[in-house]
Amino acid sequence: QVKKEVNIDIPLELIDIYKALDNKPKSINEIAIKTGIPISEINYKLMILEIDNKIKELPGQLFIRKDDG
């Protein structure tokens, strides 16, 4: 059993949003339901994660994690 450890520098206040994402596109509403974080706060945090090149926005305001290599 091999567990892949991903060593990514994500600020603590953004980690819940990052963990809610994977390689399946998710909407802001899906992220809000999964995390319990208000949509206005999610929008801000998604923008920061995108600027930091940790996630990618797809057409239709869907979000995925960037491939770690």
Give the residue among 6, 3, 1 at the shortest CA–CA distance from 54.
Answer: 6
pLDDT tens, the chain, 69 aa long: 544 445 568 999 999 999 999 999 999 999 999 999 999 999 999 999 999 999 999 999 999 999 754
The span from the CA of 24 to the CA of 2, in Å, is 22
Say what the pLDDT of residue 48 is.
97
Q: Note the pTM of the prediction, 2 decimals.
A: 0.82
Phi, psi of 46 (to 5 degrees): -65, -40
Say what the pLDDT of residue 6 is.
53
